[in-house]
Amino acid sequence: MEICGNNTFLHSDGCCTGCEFVYNEPLNYCVGNAALKYRNKPGFRLGVGVLSEPLLTVERLFCERDDRILFDNLSFDVKQGEVVQIEGQNGSGKTTLLRILSGLSRNFEGDIYWKGDHISDVAEDFRLSLLYFGHQPGVKAILTPEENLNWYAAMHPSIDQQRIFDALEQVGLKGYEDVPCHMLSAGQNRRVSLARLYLSNARLWILDEPFTAIDKRGVAEKEALIARHAEQGGSVILTTHHELNMGDRVRRINLDKLAGTS
């Protein structure tokens, strides 16, 4: 594999003018800023090497709640293949930050960019690429696990409906497809919601305490799933009080230190 560092390199098929780097092998895989610009060209595929280009960029984020500054001047970016763990004490603003990043909360100042474009300009593309797992599992108690996932699939047109049964089997709910969720345990309800991780084609996962009420084996499986997602070029932002066994893949952002005064 040859890497060209020439900024004005012109690829033979013309797709890569101005690329920072170009992979010659396999053909049509481009990286760098210009690669993103050409991503809509037919036959053009983004290379895995796009690690240099952040998926999500956060600039000078400021959030205040009840006269208390949660974070000020918070800037970071999330690259492809990265797992970012947001740390902090209870009440330090972890959930608030995740809600801001996902687009649910608008009580903030600062800018968020999705693949270089301002998030408000590419809202639909962003939502198509986002999987958000919040405090509330988003599971209807009077529907069955299968009906719940059917609904989720209806709301997310990129999901293949065929995969629902596989996903339920993966989270250990085989045989419970037709049991109303209010008859299941709290952990099983979380599992119904986590089954979305197996369904989703989303690139960016924002997970708020995904391991709550999940047993040890389940946690290990979910960790493996998160690691696999990152290996495939996806990104994960999560909060958890659980020790992640993913080595140096995980980048940590501590809100306590950032807040300084709190």
Partner 1 sequence: MSEMLTKEPVRTGEQSIGGLFLAVLKRDLLLSYRCRSDLVNPLIFFLMVATLFPLGVSPEPDFLAQVAPGVVWVAALLATLLSMDSVFRSDYEDGTLEQTLLSPQPLFVVVLGKITAHWMLTGLPLALLAPLLGVMLFLPEGGMGGLMLSLLLGTPTLSLVGAIGAALTVGLRKGGVLISLLVLPLYIPVLIFGTSAVQAAVTGLPLDGYIALLGAMLALGIGLAPLAVGAALRISVSG
Query: Which residues of the shown chain bind partner 1 in the complex (CB under 8 A)?
Result: 39, 45-48, 102-107, 124-125, 127-130, 132, 134-143, 147, 151-152, 154-161, 180, 201-203, 229, 231-234
Name the minimum Å distance from CB 203 to partner 1: 6
Name the minimum Å distance from CB 134 to partner 1: 6
Give the number of other Cβ atoms within 10 Å of residue 83's Cβ: 23
Name the minimum Å distance from CB 119 to partner 1: 13
Instruction: Give whichever of 8 and 136 is closer to partner 1, judged by the CB atom.
Output: 136
Q: How far is CA 90 from CA 16, 151, 256, in A?
A: 47, 32, 10
Instruction: Give whichever of 155 and 243 is closer to partner 1, judged by the CB atom.
Output: 155
Are 31 and 20 a contacting pair, CB within 8 Å?
yes
Q: Which residues contact 224 (CB under 8 A, 6 or more apart)?
A: none
Amino acid at 113: Y
**Angle (nearest 5°) at CA 127 between 40 and 48:** 45
Name the minimum Å distance from CB 42 to partner 1: 13
Q: At what angle do helices 145-155 and 186-199 cross, to 10 degrees?
A: 40
Instruction: Give whichever of 44 and 76 is closer to partner 1, judged by the CB atom.
Output: 44
**Angle (nearest 5°) at CA 218 between 138 and 245:** 110
* C-alpha to C-alpha distance for 52 and 36, rounded to whole angstroms: 11
Instruction: Give whichever of 122 and 246 is closer to partner 1, judged by the CB atom.
Output: 122
* C-alpha to C-alpha distance for 71 and 256, rounded to whole angstroms: 9
Instruction: Give whichever of 9 and 151 is closer to partner 1, judged by the CB atom.
Output: 151
Q: At what angle do helices 216-231 and 186-199 cross, to 10 degrees?
A: 20
Name the minimum Å distance from CB 210 to partner 1: 13
Instruction: Give whichever of 64 and 87 is closer to partner 1, judged by the CB atom.
Output: 64
Name the minimum Å distance from CB 117 to partner 1: 13
